[in-house]
Amino acid sequence: MEKVNIITVNYNSSGDLLHCIASVMKSDYKNFQLFAVDNHSTDDSLNRIEEGAEKLGISMLRITARQLQEMKNEEALQGQLVLIENEINDGFAAGNNVALRHLIKHRDQEFVWLLNPDVEVDPSVMTHLIEVHGNQDKVLTGNVINYFNDRKQVMYWGGFKVRKFIHGIRNITSREEEAKIDAIAGASLFTNVDTFRTLGLLPENYFLYWEETDFCTKATRNGFNFNVNSKSKIYDRVGGASSGNFTREYLYILSGLRFYRKYYPAYLVSVVVSVFLKLMVSIVGTRLKRRAIYFGLVDFFRLGLGRKVNIKARISQQ
């Protein structure tokens, strides 16, 4: 049985993460190790996760990101759960990359499963992901993801389609549209360790949102294909680390614009116009949303002019 290395990133959402871990522990596939990277939470998440894991009877190792990076003896990395304390929060991709760097260096012929902390998984998901993925090279496998509070409604049939002329994505929600998937949803992305040796780590310049879209676009342009497990479900609570409308809207706008500039420059003018129109519509909406869209646009142009933008400061000031 090949090992599955599960990576999840936590920021101030220890309750959701512990529910996620509890569901993973019920999996019928047992050869796995879970890496939980805490992205410098401010709510005592590390101690809460440690206490919760103990109550769940999970063997655990708690280390810092620096200790993991400097670790030379792979055998010392024991425990079903490896709780990693990241000293800084440089975003979702950077959190995943803390664990990915270790796996690239030390693990061969094993799987990687990127999993959001606010999901619940069916017991058979891991088994089915391995079956659907198989031993194929150059494959990214997604999963059917339903809403946690409406468990029969599909959120993603594995992934989504990137809109070309306007800013945003459209969720793929049925098997009939599976061929239209442009990117696997980052809530559940399953592949081989070698994928990250081939394509590199997740792009860290987005901070939050669109990083999986960038990674999947890079993958398809390098000959990768997508598979989707529909035999068993994942349920997404939606929200967690990006709580707060300003953070969510601002980063979604800014990261999306950066993605279009990188991969679809021919559509960039149309996409920017669509965001301006969204800003105009927001005049009758909340001030918070209006400011988020405005600063998303402003900071995109600042970055385009080579000026520095402190994204973390922008978020914390709102």
Which pLDDT value is given to residue 242?
47
Q: Which domain holds residue 285?
A: 244-316
pTM, two decimals, is 0.95
DSSP string covering 31-42: -EEEEEEE---S
Residue where one domain finishes, among candidates 216, 241, 266: 241
Pair 34, 24: CB distance under 8 Å: yes
pLDDT in the model for residue 1: 74
Task: Count up the domains in the chain and report the number.
Answer: 2
If one counts every other C-beta atom within 10 angstroms of the C-beta of residue 156, the result is: 23
Question: Per residue, what are the HEC states of 85-106?
Answer: ECCCCCCHHHHHHHHHHHHHHH
What's the pLDDT at 239? 55
Distance CA 126, CA 28 (A): 8
**In a shared domain, residues 275 and 236:** no
For the chain (318 residues), the mean pLDDT of every run of 10, in chain order, is 95 96 98 97 95 95 95 84 95 97 93 98 98 94 97 98 97 98 98 98 96 99 98 86 74 98 98 97 88 97 94 84
Is the same domain home to 236 and 251?
A: no
Q: Please give the Cα distance from 45 to 183 (Å, whole number).
A: 31
